[in-house]
Structure 1
Amino acid sequence: MAGLTADAIVCAVRAHGEHGAILRALTERAGLVAGYVRGGRSRRLRPILMPGNLVALDLRARTEDQLGGATVEMIASRAPLLAEPLAAAAIDWATSLTAAALPESQPYPSLYAALSALLEAIAVAPAARLWAAALARYELLLLAELGFGLNLEECVATGSANDLAFVSPRSGGAVSIGAAAGYEDRLFRLPSFLRGPGSSPSTEDVLDALTITGHFLDRDILDGRNRDLLTVRERLVARLGRAVA
């Protein structure tokens, strides 16, 4: 019997049968995993099976290809954050994106660490724009981990690493000020914080970053097909724009 015991971030839950639920959760070493939780819709388990929660997961299956049975115990609850609409929307989007984008049973330890850090930032950051910057970095990392990384280190036109100020919506490469001359309105503005640690990002920086990552997530990962999920993100970004303005 195949088995897994690990800490896991709850990413998605859907009803299965009259009382059960199918859980999808991200683990550090096994990646995204799925399991059937008996009684998952019960009053006791519903608060545990909330996206964003960190749980102790025990997953058992007779074969590698069979959906296993899962049991969970709470480690850290994100329930207090769900009372705040903006934080709740961010958790909903980040966990839903993770569940929709990642293939199952492939390890992405850097994404597990980044999602953990993002959820912690949502809980403790004194301003929404600060955790929103972490969200943009998480989306950028997810693109890279799935093979759609953006080249923000050198100009796609000249190869220079100097004066990078824009991003091409076609190539995903950075563009220098000189190479962008006359084409600025066709390019995304590149916030410096996406290239590495530095000063605290401004409101404009955060929204520009989310415009960049949103474009490439839609084009390369979600392929415009998951309209419901994209709508979740659009609403989140609109709320962020109002909250940090």
Structure 2
Amino acid sequence: MEWRDQGALLAVRRHGETSAIIEVFTECHGRHAGIVRGGTSRKLAPVLQPGAQLDLTWRARLDDHIGTFTVEPLRSRAAYVMQDRLTLSGLNAICALLAFVLPEREAHPALYLRSMALLDMLGHTEDWPLAYLRWELALLEDMGFGLDLTRCAVTGSRDDLAYVSPKSGRAVSAGAAGDWAAKLLPLPLCLLGQGPAAASEVREGLRTTGFFMERWLAAELGNKPLPAARQRLIEALSRPF
């Protein structure tokens, strides 16, 4: 068995004396693991960093074997993030969440393209936290847990949307919320795709997407806790940027 593809490195761990097991997210083969011979060597270790874009050739005797990767670096994203704690937190959160939610060997081409575009924003634009928030929304959608933020669940109106129901994941207008407002989740305008967003608004949006990641997505995956890297990103966003 053999295939060739490109992908972003999500995770790496030592395997034996000199090898490494890597997980990558590719367009055609989804999240895929494999062994890199000599992955801990001076030549390859600097290449095998989370977020790195790699040209990959995977080989195995049988399709269900873990197989081995031959890797060639296409570009490193680490150079653009290492000097900034917030941006590094963003890269780590993206890689950790993809490794957490993606089923093995299942292609998600639309999510792949969106994820690569987000990774390429890191270190190049200050607007990436807003793009990250909208990426989390897209991640929920791609995994089958999309939110319906198009109209009020109570009145059907598209106006004055201000909350999200924690039960249904549907938008609720300010007027329809009434006494239930305190029990609803915030719906900042940036989650509706409207305008730029301050750090506080991005954090509000992440509170909402994080709720559904925990209650719906993580529950589907056996109630595993969300990756700690996501919480570290939220803490980093609490500081001015």
Smaller-chain TM-score range? Answer: over 0.9
CA–CA separation in structure 1 for the residues paired with 2:112 and 2:19: 26
Q: Give how far 1:138 is off.
A: 1.3
- Are 1:216 and 2:212 an aligned pair? yes
CA RMSD in angstroms comes to 1.6
Match of 1:64, SS state, is coil
CA–CA separation in structure 1 for the residues paired with 2:3 and 2:174: 51
Q: Which runs of 4+ in 1 moved over 3 A?
A: 223-227
* Aligned twin of 1:63: 62
Deviation readout 1:57-111 (Å, 9 max, x if unpaired): 1111111111111011111101211232211111111101101110011111111
Matches within 5 A, 1:1-245: 2-80=1-79, 81-125=81-125, 127=126, 130-196=127-193, 198-223=194-219, 225-227=223-225, 229-244=226-241
Q: Give how far 1:141 is off.
A: 1.0
Deviates more, 1:217-226 or 1:17-26: 217-226
| Contact 2:199–2:240 under 8 Å retained in 1 | no
| Contact 2:8–2:51 under 8 Å retained in 1 | yes
CA–CA separation in structure 2 for the residues paired with 1:114 and 1:43: 32
Alignment TM-score, normalising by the size of structure 1: 0.91
Deviation readout 1:34-73 (Å, 9 max, x if unpaired): 1111111111111111111101111111111111110111
> Percent identity at matched positions?
40
CA–CA separation in structure 1 for the residues paired with 2:10 and 2:128: 18
Aligned AA (1:124): H
Aligned AA (2:43): R
Alignment TM-score, normalising by the size of structure 2: 0.93
| Contact 1:35–1:70 under 8 Å retained in 2 | yes
| Contact 2:23–2:99 under 8 Å retained in 1 | yes
Q: Give how far 1:225 is off.
A: 4.5
CA–CA separation in structure 2 for the residues paired with 1:199 and 1:100: 30
Provide structure 1 residue ranges, at least 5 long, that are not aligned to the other structure.
none
Q: Give how far 1:230 is off.
A: 3.5
